Amino acid sequence: MTELDAVLFANEAFYRAFADRDMGAMTEVWAEDPPLSCIHPGWGLLEGHTEVLQSWEAILGNSESPTVAFLAAKAHIRGDMAYVHCFEEIDGNYLIATNIFVHEGRRWRLVHHQAGPTAENPPLVAEDEDGLIN
């Protein structure tokens, strides 16, 4: 598995925990050491391990929370930091998200998530920098 694949796997684990409403898995996705931050659509800035994870506990524990799927994920690595841009689909509407990961131990772990409205739709077919279809 390449490092880009590992980052995309970590991103998928985040969305899998979200879709499964699995707080244990969600906690495992987030880093332990660096400061954490999160901006949910329509919310203010959340900072710190406790505040960020409490927000996810409230979202995942709420039966009214929507189902979220992610599409067109694209990862970039810069040293021990990586970021993923992707679209989130909720009830036929799209948000655009940025997820920032750091290399913690032997894993890529999330340190920041931000999602917000977009006027764009995800591409039907994603191409990498070399024009190859993902």
pTM of the predicted structure, to 2 decimals: 0.89
Q: Which domains does the chain have, with CATH numbers?
A: 3-117 (3.10.450.50)
Range list of β-strands (E), 1-134: 37-39, 46-47, 69-78, 81-90, 93-104, 107-117
∠ CA 79-84-86 to the nearest 5 degrees? 170
Q: What is the pLDDT along the chain (134 residues), one digit of tens a residue?
A: 899 999 999 999 999 999 999 999 999 999 998 799 999 999 999 999 999 999 999 999 999 988 899 999 999 999 999 999 999 999 889 999 999 999 998 999 999 999 999 988 898 754 455 444 44
Q: How many CB atoms lie within 10 A of CB 117?
A: 10
